[in-house]
Structure 1
Amino acid sequence: MIEITSNQQDNVLAFTAHGRVTGEDYESVLIPAIEAKLKEKPKIRLLYNFGSDFSGFEAKALWDDAKVGLQHPTAWEKIAVVSDNKWVVGATK
């Protein structure tokens, strides 16, 4: 599950992942929020927090993540990933 968490600034999107993240989570929560924010701002900052209960991604979610990044290659001013999960930390270095 992905939930939108509080946005501190108008160019920041903050999300928290819980449990197993699915393609449906990306298609119904994350991607629409990114698309809406990009209509307002040409560059955005993304804060992606992995909750302590995060257990992984479905393959479709990983594919959707790659697609949204490739569809908007210049949209990201900064991206922050917060996790204590070892494989997430290793994958984002």
Structure 2
Amino acid sequence: MIDILPETEGSTLVIKATEMLTAEDYETVFIPAMDELIQRHGKVHVALLLGETFEGWEIGAMWDDARFGIQHRNDFEKIAVIGGPNWVEWTAKLGAYFMEGHLQTFDEAEFSEAITWLKA
């Protein structure tokens, strides 16, 4: 499940991912929110908070995530990946090589610091 958090404002989207992410999560929440921000602001800042119950991505969600990331690889100014299992940090850093913006990972306890970095 993807929830948009109240820290979202301006060109910054802050989302929390819990349980298993599905293609429907991307198609009904994430992609429409991102498309709107990109149309309004050009380059965007995105924080992905991976909650304690985060389990990963279903195949359809992985495809949507990869396709969207490739299509919009020049539209991300900053990406903060917050929390999650150790393998998420590794895959996020690998994916950053295919995007123009800056990516930084944070522990879940560093949520406030991540948002401050993202909005600076």
Pairing 1:50-61 to 2, within 5 Å after superposition: 50-61=50-61
TM superposition score normalised by structure 1: 0.93
> What is the alpha-carbon distance in structure 2 between the residues aligned to residue 48 and residue 89 of structure 1?
12
Partner AA of 1:27 in structure 2: E
3-state SS, counterpart of residue 92 of structure 1:
helix
Identical columns (%): 38
Superposed CA RMSD in Å reads 1.2
Would you say 1:89 and 2:89 are equivalent positions? yes
Deviations 1:28-64 (A, max 9, x none): 0000000011111010001011001101110110110
Task: In structure 1, give the amino acid aligned to 2:59.
Answer: A
Unaligned runs of 5+ in 1: none
Show structure 2 runs of 5+ residues with no match: 94-120
| Aligned-residue offset at 1:4 | 0.6
Taking CA–CA contacts closer than 8 Å with sequence separation of 6 or more, which of the two structures ends up with the larger relative contact order? 1
Aligned length: 93
Instruction: Tell me the TM-score normalised to structure 2 length.
Output: 0.73
2:71 matched residue in structure 1: 71
Higher percent of residues as helix: 2
Once superposed, which parts of structure 1, at least 4 consecutive aligned residues long, lie more than 2 Å away? none
